[in-house]
Amino acid sequence: MAFDNARTTAPASPGFADLGVPATLVAALTESGVTTPFPIQSATLPDSLTGRDVLGRGRTGSGKTLAFVLPVLARLAASKSPRRPRQPRALVLAPTRELASQIDAVMAPMAKRLGLRTLTVFGGVRPNPQIQGLRNGVDIVIACPGRLADHVQSGHADLGAVEVTVLDEADHMADLGFLPVVRRLLDKTPANGQRLLFSATLDAGVDVLVKRFLHGPVTHSVDSAQSPISQMTHHVLHVSREGRVPVLAELTAAPGKTIVFTRTKHGAKALARQLNARGVPTVELHGNLAQNARTRNLDAFGNGAATTLVATDIAARGIHVDDVSLVVHADPPVEHKAYLHRSGRTARAGNEGTVVTLMTDAQVSDVRDLTRKAGIKPKVTRIQPGDALLSMIAPGERTYVAVADRPVEKTSTTSGARGGRGGRSTPRGGSSRSGGEGRSRQRGGAPAGRSAARSGAGSPSGGRPHSAASFSSARRGR
């Protein structure tokens, strides 16, 4: 008697082609190692690819970028509309420069295969190259609202030909006060255009955008920011004021990449200086840095020249760096949403990660309320520098690199070669496939053996990372 396999075998997960993604884009995804859609992509693509307005809700790291990049590219590739000067055919709005750049990094290679042009538009850089790019004609503008509004007002950009508009991290744009300018920009796009809105939460401000600009949207909620984050291990370390920085240095000197969050720009700068002084290669990211310094520091952190990034909430949303498996709240945030968004820099795209909150005596009540509202039950431990628990939370041999005797200011040189802490070649764990927002790695094996320390030549990008103090790194054997 023959068995019916359809009845006894679970159905295979649909691939991108099954969801309606054009063959050219499927081939591009396959070449980059992306073959299986993540839940937010599987949920939204069947509707967005047919032209429906879509409201996608999911936390950062869930794969939202590909969920809107693919339908935008598919629609423009199928459209017969010609490319015209100053009139983009698609618009993607993002809250931060870093997010806009990372969206473009995902979109531009696939757009080029389809003969489409992309352009990033944001502040902090000279406007003339953007103006010239608009004059030359582009298909897709990926923009922060403020600078794009300037170009529209001056007549360098006309949104009247936009066929599809994307709002990414809409709740973060609301938090930053961008909604009035976002509404003005959307009013200048055709009313019958397709709108795709992605957000971790649907707060009152975002709901206003949905009701005003989306027409009969299909709503898909996948892994929202309010749901428990099972892939993360949460610790609260009760420390003395004097032990805060030594404990932090022990955590960040372990193998792998760590993001440390502070509440203020001054706090980020000071803490980066203290970690560098203790031999932990560290760069900072906050609003007081010029755009070129922010870019250099992210590059240094991404390529391993610096292995710790100290940041304000500017980095909690909208950036992705591979292999971040530890997030430390050096200053507990005020709101539980900020806690979740900060923590979302690790455990991305289904991978595991560790989140640590440092808590002093004066912060006990605030942290208790914070974790309760965030829906997590962390392990709370009173701890001192040198405690064995620190090696369990962030396993691996600690490496402290040689540092200069005196701190260097904004133009300081960060020296060191690629390869993790002290130039380690082994991050925390093995790699995993990207779901459109990059890859993250799980915590894993021990570092490789050490070779002689040497001074490097700074960031491979050609610029010098901005840090509070210079450092030199030991390079690990490969």
pLDDT digits (tens, 9 = 90+) for 372-420: 988 888 999 999 999 999 999 999 999 898 754 333 333 333 333 333 3
Report which of residues 449 and 292 the model is more confident about: 292
> Residue 353: phi, psi to the nearest 5?
-165, 170
The CA–CA distances, whole Å, from 352 to 234, 260, 344, 347, 355 equal 11, 17, 11, 4, 10
Say how far apart CA 386 and CA 250 lie, in whole Å. 8
More confident residue, 202 or 214: 214
Is 269 or 423 the better-scoring residue by pLDDT? 269
Instruction: Note the pLDDT of residue 171.
Output: 84
**Rounded mean pLDDT, 164-182:** 90
Domain locations in the chain as residue ranges: 12-221, 232-476
Q: Which pLDDT value is given to residue 177?
A: 85
pLDDT value of residue 24: 94
Which backbone phi and psi does 52 adopt, to 5 degrees?
-75, 150
| Mean pLDDT (whole number) for 337-344 | 79
pLDDT at residue number 91: 98
- Please give the pLDDT value at position 223: 58
Q: Is the pLDDT at 6 greater than 70, yes or no?
A: no
Give the mean pLDDT of 226-254.
84
Strands (E), 108-231: 118-121, 140-143, 164-167, 194-199, 218-221
Band of the pLDDT at 165, cuts 50, 70, 90?
Answer: very high
Mean pLDDT for the stretch of residues 109-125: 95
- Between 189 and 474, name the one with better pLDDT: 189
Please say if the pLDDT value at position 217 is more than 60. yes
What CA–CA distances, in Å, run from 161 to 70, 82, 150, 192?
20, 10, 18, 11
SS3 471: strand
Give the architecture-level CATH label for domain 12-221: 3-Layer(aba) Sandwich (3.40)
DSSP string over 358-372: EE-GGGHHHHHHHHH
Asked whether the predicted pLDDT for residue 123 surpasses 50, the reply is yes
436 backbone φψ class: left, alpha, beta (φ>0; ψ -120 to 50): left
Integer Cα distance of 271 and 211 in angstroms: 43
Q: What is the mean pLDDT of residues 432-455?
A: 33
Q: Is the pLDDT of residue 360 over 70?
A: yes
Residue 254's nearest CA partner among 181, 182, 328, 193 is 328
Greater model confidence, 441 or 176: 176
Residue 72 is predicted with a pLDDT of 98
Higher pLDDT, 141 or 402: 141
Residue among 280, 229, 318, 220 nearest 414 (CA): 280
Q: Give the confidence band of 151 by pLDDT, cuts at 50, 70, 90.
A: very high
Segments in 165-290 forming alpha helices (H): 170-175, 179-187, 204-213, 244-252, 265-277
Is the confidence at residue 459, as pLDDT, over 60? no
Q: Which residue has the tokens 């609003």?
A: 287
Query: Which of 35-44, 347-356, 363-372, 405-414 has the lowest average pLDDT?
Result: 405-414
Phi, psi angle pair for 457, to nearest 5°: -115, 20
Return the residue matching tokens 């193998």: 255
pTM of full prediction above 0.75: no
**3-state class (DSSP) for residue 123:** coil
Backbone angles phi, psi at 443, to 5 degrees: -65, 140
* Rounded-to-integer distance, Cα 66 and Cα 205, Å: 25
Out of 247-256, 367-376, 425-434, 461-470, which region has the weakest mean confidence (pLDDT)?
Answer: 425-434
**Position 168 pLDDT exceeds 90:** yes
Among the ranges given (104-113, 155-164, 172-181, 345-354), the one the predictor scored with the smallest mean pLDDT: 345-354
Which helix (H) or strand (E) is 282 found in, with range? Answer: strand 282-285
pLDDT average, residue stretch 302-315 = 87
> pLDDT at position 343, please?
81
d(CA 356, CA 379): 10
Q: CA–CA separation, 287 vs 307, rounded Å?
A: 20
Predicted confidence at residue 437, as pLDDT, reads 33
Residue with tokens 């006894």: 8
CB atoms within 10 A of CB 84: 13
76-114 pLDDT, tens digit each: 999 978 999 999 999 999 998 888 998 999 999 999 999
> Distance of CA 303 to CAs 88, 165, 306, 370, Å?
33, 32, 8, 33
Beta-carbon neighbour count of residue 66 at 10 Å? 26
**For residues 55-63, average pLDDT:** 75
Average pLDDT over residues 26-31: 94
326: helix, coil or strand?
A: strand
For position 107, what pLDDT does the model report?
96
Residue with more model confidence, 450 or 33: 33
State yes or no: pLDDT of 13 exceeds 70. Answer: no
Task: Give the CATH fold of the 232-476 domain.
Answer: Rossmann fold (3.40.50)
CA–CA dist 4, 392 (Å, integer)? 49
Beta bridge partners of residue 119, listed in sequence order: 141
pLDDT of amino acid 450: 29
Q: By the 8 A CB rule, do 248 and 273 touch? A: no
Decide whether 12-221 matches 232-476 in CATH topology: yes
Query: How much of the chain exceeds pLDDT 70, in percent?
Result: 76
Mean pLDDT for the chain? 79
**Kind plus residue range of the DSSP H or E element containing 131:** helix 128-136
pLDDT, position 455: 32
